Chains A and B, each alone.
Chain A
Amino acid sequence: MSDLTPNTSEYFSAVKREVMRLVAGAIIPADPARDMPGADDPAILDDILASAGRDADDLARALDILGAEGAQITDASLARFRDDHPALAGVLSLVIAQCYYRDDRVLVAIGMEPRAPFPKGYEVAQGDWSLLDPVRARGPIYRDVPQEGTDT
Chain B
Amino acid sequence: MAEMNEPVDVLIIGGGASGAAVAWSLAETKMHIVCLEQGDWIKNEGFPSTGRDWEARQFGDFAISPNRRKLEADYPINEDNSPIKVANFNGVGGGTILYAGHFPRFHPSDFKVKTLDDVADDWPIDYATLEPFFELNDKMTGVAALAGDPAYPSKPAVMPPLPMGRSCEVIGEAMNKLGWHWWPSDAAINTQEYEGRAPCINLGHCGSGCAQGAKATTDGTYWPEAIRARVELRHRCRVRRIETNEDDMATGAYYVDPDGVERFQPAEIVIVACNGVGTPRLLLNSASERFPDGLCNSSRMVGKNLMFHPYSQVRGHVDEKLEGYKGPRIGTWSMEFYETDPKRGFKRGYCYQFSRGYGPVATAVNGMADGIIPWGAGHHEAFGRMFDHSLGMLAICEDLPEEINRVTIDPHLTDSDGIPAPRITYRLSENSKRMLDHSVARGKEILQAAGARDITHKTIFPGAGWHLMGTARMGTDPKTSVVNEWGRSHDVRNLFIVDGSVFVTSGGVNPTSTIQAIALYVADQIKNRIYELFD
Contact = CB atoms under 8 A, between A and B. Distances in A.
Chain B associates with chain A: yes
Given A142-B108, A145-B116, A118 B380 contact: no
A94 interface: yes
Contact of A135 (B108, B182, B363): B182
A93 B202 contact: no
A2 to B, nearest CB: 6
Contact of B326 (A107, A123, A129, A144): A123
B480 interface: no
A27 B128 CA distance: 57
Given A1-B46, A26-B375, A150 B59 contact: no
B364 A132 contact: no
Contacts of A124: 163, 165, 202, 323, 326-327
A5 interface: yes
B50 A118 contact: yes
A93 B46 contact: no
Contacts of B383: 110
B56 A51 contact: yes
Interface string B131-151: 000000000000000101011
Given A93-B368, A94-B365, A122-B202, A132 B172 contact: yes
B152 to A, nearest CB: 6
Contact of B380 (A31, A99, A138, A142): A31
A101 B365 CA distance: 10
A106 B384 CA distance: 12
A112 interface: yes
A69 interface: no
A72 interface: no
B291 to A, nearest CB: 29
A98 B109 CA distance: 44
Interface stretch (B20-28, B204-212, B241-249, B451-459): B204-212
Interface in A105-149: 106-107, 110-112, 114-129, 131-132, 134-136, 138-145, 147-149
Given A54-B60, A126-B163, A121 B203 contact: yes
B379 A27 contact: yes
The size bracket of the interface on A is: 35 or more
Please indicate which of the listed interface residues A90, A94, A127, A139 has the most CB atoms of chain B within 10 Å of its own CB. A127
Contacts of A1: 40, 42-43, 46, 61
B202 A121 contact: yes
Given A122-B203, A122-B327, A152 B163 contact: no
Nearest to B201: A121
Interface string B344-383: 0000000000000001110111001100000111011001
A10 B56 CA distance: 20
A140 to B, nearest CB: 5
B54 interface: yes
Contact of B212 (A100, A101, A121, A136): A121
A101 B360 contact: yes
A93 B57 contact: no
Contacts of B47: 118
B379 A152 contact: no
B107 A142 contact: yes
Contacts of A22: none
Given A127-B163, A150-B485, 10 more contacts: A4-B61, A28-B379, A36-B380, A75-B377, A78-B376, A97-B368, A99-B56, A102-B361, A118-B201, A148-B126
17 contacts: A1-B42, A3-B53, A4-B60, A36-B380, A54-B68, A75-B375, A97-B364, A117-B205, A121-B202, A124-B202, A127-B166, A135-B150, A141-B151, A142-B153, A143-B109, A150-B126, A152-B528
Interface of A: 1-5, 26-29, 31, 34, 36, 51, 53-54, 75, 78, 82, 90, 93-94, 97-102, 106-107, 110-112, 114-129, 131-132, 134-136, 138-145, 147-150, 152
